[in-house]
């Protein structure tokens, strides 16, 4: 039987402990909050955690409340398999307790009030630190807390994470218990709002080590992505031999060298303009090249409106054009929408939910009309944003900060990178060196197309009866049993409030759908290596785009805009002066919309 998680609460159950509980809940680890037996300031009777050995998370003050003397500490540790202690401070009483708890292995804690820190995760710590092992990065976290000054008394201790060159997350063995000391002063609050443009990486010190610890102790009973997938998305280009700085033959060579895959975010307006040789290149290399949908006409703020009729027309027309493009060029597409200019409205997300789009992708998860601080840290750490629509929103990022990408993979998001043709101005050195770093940190990462990525995105955890619970995000989902034994599953997908008219098929056969709170569940059993294709069907009024025309003025504006963009990308890109003139002209076109 698995160990149980206990979170030691200080007197008054401070926010610190509540935050640790939220993190455990987020990972799906059941826990109990353990209040001190006495009200003893600095040493009531030690409370034995009865029965099997527990896994314990505690602030040092909550731990000290239960363990007055060295003997009390030893008694306490007798019932504990693994213990993470955080919240340390630089004070005489904290240092004294620290030395006592670690049998002298730590001399003292040293406060660090710097706003930004250099984090170094030890190479070879992958058993605990997972994808972070071997990574060094700067983080402007504003996190205080301490680093530890170690003595040489326990040679088997491991420094898992250093901060500003000093031990910050340390593992050692004390009286048969795995003890992990964490230098941060608090655990991040998963319910805290995250502003537009703010990165959850700022919470690294306050959250990632605790997640590492819980995953180490509870393994497959924590929510985790069973596989990692990624794609390098290139916005806007036509499928011609060259587009601006992008040469498809050369990019293919680069992808073969560094084993990654690219997806062109294709503007549906260009559906009749694909060069057959480039189409043939895409068709011959489906493991490297794929395309998805990038707006419809790609005009300014195209998917930012609130007019449902207009958004519906754009969505249907985009799909109709992509179908035509597939028919004309032979290049299929993933029904995944990449919003132009990184802008979209909540209504646009709802309208996509009425169509056969599988998912949407954007750099920011904030729709233009959503109030600041409406999304929480927990939202940011889920594989996809699901609150806007029955279509999930995945996020992507520029290939700049490796740590941001590792955070995506660590929490189970697909790794979606984005660039434009200009990124290849100096060749493929930049992309290859970035991808090489990612591939080294996450050797299991599979580079593939967006259809595969979105329709297989999930988190998984083992349940009470050995069943695998899977949280998936799209209305078409593929699950495979990779094991050598028969496995039962419960597939879960969040539903919006009031949504009940959803039916499901598994490999074409209709199955029962159970609704439980805010999610639907589909039980399933798979033989070894067997796969199941799940399709959710919703009552939606799907209207096909009939190929109708825009007014002549609108058509001219779209034509002018696309022509200017292409002129800029293909001709002016080498001349900054001319490029600025083109930007001004585009600005005028935008203003005249």
Residues 6 or more apart from 195 whose CB is under 8 A from it?
372, 373
**C-beta of 240: minimal distance to Zn ion in Å?**
16
Asked if 297 touches Zn ion (CB under 5 A), the answer is no
Query: For residue 537, what is the enclosing H or E element?
Result: strand 531-538
CB-nearer residue toward Zn ion: 131 or 270: 270
Comparison of 132 and 339: residue with beta carbon closer to Zn ion: 339
Of 109-117, 216-224, 334-342, 582-590, the segment contacting Zn ion by CB under 5 A is: 334-342
Q: Do the Cβ atoms of 55 and 2 come closer than 8 Å?
A: no
Cβ count within 10 A of residue 36 = 19
In sequence order, the β-bridge partners of residue 417 are 232, 397
Q: Does 340 bind Zn ion (CB under 5 A)?
A: yes
The residue (of 205 and 235) whose beta carbon lies closer to Zn ion is 235
Task: Please give the residues from 432 up to 491 whose contact with Zn ion meets the rule CB under 5 A.
Answer: none
Q: Write out the two tokens for 344.
A: 């979209």
Cβ 278 to Zn ion shortest distance, Å: 19
Nearer to Zn ion among residue 188 and residue 234 (C-beta): 234
Q: Among residues 305 and 340, whose Cβ is nearest to Zn ion?
A: 340
**Interface stretch with Zn ion, choices 273-281, 333-341, 398-406, 445-453 (CB under 5 A):** 333-341
**Closest separation between CB of residue 587 and Zn ion, Å?**
16
Nearer to Zn ion, 236 or 378 (CB): 236
Query: What minimum distance in Å lies between the beta carbon of 593 and Zn ion?
Result: 16
Q: Which residues contact 64 (CB under 8 A, 6 or more apart)?
A: 42, 43, 97
Chain mean position to CA 504: 27
Nearest Cα to 104, choosing from 113, 96, 93?
96
> Among 77, 74, 73, which residue's Cα sits nearest to residue 65?
73
Q: Using CA atoms in the order 161, 149, 189, 12, what is the torsion angle rounded to 10 degrees?
A: 150
Q: How far is the CB of 302 from Zn ion (least distance, A)?
A: 10
Closest approach, Cβ 433 to Zn ion, in A, equals 25
**Size of site (CB under 5 A) for Zn ion:** 3
Contact 24, 5 (CB under 8 A): yes
Binding to Zn ion in span 209-248, by CB under 5 A: 235-236
Tell me whether residue 4 or residue 235 sits nearer to Zn ion (CB atom).
235
Q: How far is the CB of 197 from Zn ion (least distance, A)?
A: 19
DSSP output for 106-154: EEEEEE---SSEEEEEPTT-HHHHGGGTT-EEEE------EEEEE-SS-
Q: Are 286 and 279 in contact (CB under 8 A)?
A: no
Q: Which of 189/302 has CB closer to Zn ion?
A: 302
In the complex, minimum distance from the CB of residue 357 to Zn ion, in angstroms, rounded to a whole number: 17
CB of 271 to Zn ion, least distance (A): 16
Binding to Zn ion in span 507-526, by CB under 5 A: none
What residues does 514 pair with on adjacent strands?
521
CB of 295 vs Zn ion, minimal distance in Å: 7
Return the residues of window 538-577 that contact Zn ion according to CB under 5 A: none
CB nearer Zn ion, residue 185 or residue 235: 235
Our finding on whether 419 is near Zn ion (CB under 5 A) is no
Report, in Å, the least distance between residue 474 CB and Zn ion.
23
SS3 content of the chain, % helix, strand, coil (to 5): 35, 25, 40
Stretch that binds Zn ion, among 170-178, 200-208, 338-346, 482-490 (CB under 5 A): 338-346
* Residue with Cβ nearer Zn ion (266 or 434): 266
Shorter beta-carbon distance to Zn ion: residue 314 or 381: 314
Tell me how far CA of residue 586 lies from CA of 235, 411, 583, in angstroms: 18, 39, 5
Residues 6+ apart with CB under 8 A from 395: 361, 362, 363, 364, 365, 385, 413, 416
DSSP 197: T
Residues that bind Zn ion (CB under 5 A): 235-236, 340
């Amino acid at each position: 039987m698995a160990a149980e998680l206990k979170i030691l609460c200080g007197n008054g159950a401070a926010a610190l402990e509540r935050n640790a509980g939220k993190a455990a809940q987020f990972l799906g680890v059941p826990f109990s909050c353990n209040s001190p037996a006495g009200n003893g300031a600095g040493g009531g009777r030690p409370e034995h955690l009865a029965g099997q050995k527990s896994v314990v998370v505690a602030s040092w003050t909550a731990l000290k409340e239960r363990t007055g003397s060295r003997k009390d500490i030893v008694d306490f540790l007798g019932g504990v398999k693994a213990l993470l202690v955080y919240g340390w401070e630089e004070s005489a009483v904290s240092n004294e307790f620290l030395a006592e708890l670690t049998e002298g292995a730590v001399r003292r804690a040293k406060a660090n009030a710097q706003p930004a820190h250099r984090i170094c995760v030890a190479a070879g710590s992958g058993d605990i630190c997972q994808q972070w092992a071997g990574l060094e990065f700067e983080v402007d976290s504003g996190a205080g807390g301490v680093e530890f000054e170690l003595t040489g008394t326990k040679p088997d201790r491991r420094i898992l994470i250093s901060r500003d060159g000093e031990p910050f997350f340390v593992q050692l063995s004390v009286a048969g218990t795995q003890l992990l000391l964490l230098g941060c002063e608090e655990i991040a609050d998963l319910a805290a709002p995250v502003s537009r443009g703010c990165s959850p990486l700022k919470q690294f010190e306050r959250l990632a080590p605790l997640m590492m610890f819980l995953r180490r102790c509870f393994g497959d009973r924590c929510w985790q992505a069973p596989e990692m997938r990624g794609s390098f998305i290139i916005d806007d280009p036509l499928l011609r031999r060259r587009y601006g700085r992008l040469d498809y033959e050369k990019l293919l060579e680069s992808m073969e060298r560094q084993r990654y895959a690219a997806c062109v975010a294709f503007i549906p307006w260009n559906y009749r303009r694909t060069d057959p040789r480039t189409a043939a290149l895409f068709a011959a290399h489906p493991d490297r090249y794929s395309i998805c949908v990038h707006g419809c006409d790609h005009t300014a703020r195209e998917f930012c409106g609130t007019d449902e009729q207009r958004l519906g027309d754009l969505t249907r027309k985009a799909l109709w054009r992509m179908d035509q493009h597939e028919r004309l060029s032979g290049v299929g597409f993933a029904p995944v929408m990449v919003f132009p200019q990184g802008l979209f409205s909540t209504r646009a997300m709802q309208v996509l939910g009425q169509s056969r789009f599988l998912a949407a992708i954007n750099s920011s998860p904030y729709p233009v009309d959503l109030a600041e601080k409406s999304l929480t840290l927990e939202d940011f750490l889920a594989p996809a944003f699901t609150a806007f629509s029955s279509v999930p929103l995945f996020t992507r990022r520029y290939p700049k900060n490796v740590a941001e990408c590792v955070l995506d993979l660590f929490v189970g998001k697909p790794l979606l990178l984005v660039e434009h043709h200009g990124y290849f101005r100096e060749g493929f050195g930049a992309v290859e060196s970035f991808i090489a770093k990612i591939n080294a940190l996450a050797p299991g990462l599979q580079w593939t197309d967006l259809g595969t990525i979105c329709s297989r995105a999930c988190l998984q955890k083992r349940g009470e009866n050995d069943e695998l619970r899977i949280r998936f995000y799209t209305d078409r989902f593929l699950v495979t049993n990779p094991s050598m034994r028969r496995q039962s599953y419960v597939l879960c997908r969040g539903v919006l409030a009031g949504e009940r008219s959803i039916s499901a098929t598994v490999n074409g056969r209709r199955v029962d759908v159970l609704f439980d709170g805010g999610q639907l569940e589909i039980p399933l059993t798979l033989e070894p290596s067997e796969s199941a294709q799940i399709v959710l069907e919703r009552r939606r009024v799907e209207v096909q785009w009939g190929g109708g025309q825009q007014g002549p003025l609108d058509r001219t504006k779209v034509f002018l805009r696309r022509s200017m963009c292409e002129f800029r990308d293909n001709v002016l890109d080498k001349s900054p002066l001319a490029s600025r003139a083109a930007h001004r002209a585009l600005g005028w076109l935008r203003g005249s919309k």
